[in-house]
Amino acid sequence: MEAQQQLPDTGHADVRVVAATPEVARKVAEVLRRCFAATEQRSYPAGAEGGTRLHFTVDTTRAAEPARSWLAASQSAFDEPPEADGP
């Protein structure tokens, strides 16, 4: 991470999608928007050979299904101590 780049607010994640075509990048963004509230995406060229970069922020505190159930299940796994190997 660059030294001057700020972290997103708690409960938010900055998302960067790089794809060969704008259609592919939009499909990925659409799936994430079905799971989380998100800001408007910003689109940029991905390089000299073409491609697209999309940037947007998702709000994990406002999750929709299926992300809500996945987040709840994964959260309990982080709260438990690791299992010991063997007796």
User: 10-38 pLDDT, tens per residue?
Assistant: 999 999 999 999 999 999 999 998 889 89
Q: Percent of the chain, pLDDT > 70?
A: 80
pTM, two decimal places: 0.67
C-alpha dist (Å) from residue 3 to 6, 7, 21, 39: 8, 10, 30, 24
Cβ-based neighbour number of residue 25 at 10 Å: 21
pLDDT tens for residues 65-83?
777 787 777 765 555 555 6
Q: Which tokens go with 30?
A: 């659409």
C-alpha dist (Å) from residue 73 to 27, 31, 80: 25, 20, 12
C-alpha dist (Å) from residue 5 to 1, 2, 21, 37, 56: 7, 5, 27, 22, 15
Tell me, what's the pLDDT at 75? Answer: 66
